[in-house]
Structure 1
Amino acid sequence: MNDGTIDTLRLKIINQLKANEDLKSTTIKMVEQSKVLNTPGAEKQTKRELFDALRQELETPVLEKASKSVWELILDGNGLGREINETVEKVFCRLSGREPPLFAPNGELQSEKGKEKKAEKGKGKEKEKEYQNENDNVDPTPKKRKLDEKTKAKDSAEEVAN
């Protein structure tokens, strides 16, 4: 699946994160209130030293907030989350050779083919149960061959080869 489907979804997530004003304002507040910038002598440090110290102090909490925002986007049943679910379903159906379901506004499958497939699955389960019942009577333990049987099999294989 190299058609860019996942890349498109990833870009949508990134763009929505960039547009998240709440996440931006929270990050700005965290930087403004950081210990690194509010310690005496911070103004004498180089930009690189300040950046490294800020990163060490704030990287984990900022990434945690970003992660929560991403999960909210992914799990959103109406926006991007729904698009992700539908895309994954379509790709799965395409890769597995199945026909994609037709979604109704309420999320139920409404196609006639979908109903037929459910009926076929029910029949298949009945056949599986019959097969299982037949196999329940078979002894599942493997039988060991005796040495004589092994040598006879080896001899007959050599005869066939010659």
Structure 2
Amino acid sequence: MPRQIFQLRISLTGVRPSVWRRVLVPGGYTLDRLHRVVQHGMGWRDCHLHSFEIDSRQYGEPDPDGELALRDELDVRLDAVVGKGSRFHYTYDFGDWWEHDLVVEDAFTADPDERYPTCLDGARACPPENAGGPAGYQILLAALADPGHPEHRSMRDWVGERFDPAAFDAGRVATLLRRFC
């Protein structure tokens, strides 16, 4: 049976200008593998906890203390819980609370000459880890954009000279996805 591929649009909520990715992912991927796609696709470093919310059910890494009622993401295939037109959420870093809106834009048969997962398109760089969530990131962007801002130099030192919030390279992301997912 041919593999089914889902075209997903992943958008970081609460951030303007919009940070998003369009990726192609095998429907047979477990949610654990989809977690890796979101991490590498967006540019996160997988330093914090995460969860998926699909149809009011929570999925993620089981909590050994039993405090979080999560279904094990290793046991759930993407194509078993979503289909074309589905919308669901992925939250990363429960302190900063980076929420991602995921939409299954299309579903189709895999091209035998294509390697999956891959990234088709996107916009803007991922916020740096520990930026303080969407509100903290807006403060960072304002400080970086204004050399006269009182925190411009300290924020630039923190993120490094190479950080460009407008930068995005779909080819680089596609390579990361193929290598690590």
Does TM, normalized by the shorter one, top 0.5? no
- Structure having the higher Rg: 1
| Structure of greater relative contact order (alpha carbons < 8 Å, 6+ residues apart) | 2
Structure 1 or 2: larger helix share?
Answer: 1
TM-score (norm 2): 0.22
Structure 1 or 2: larger strand share?
Answer: 2
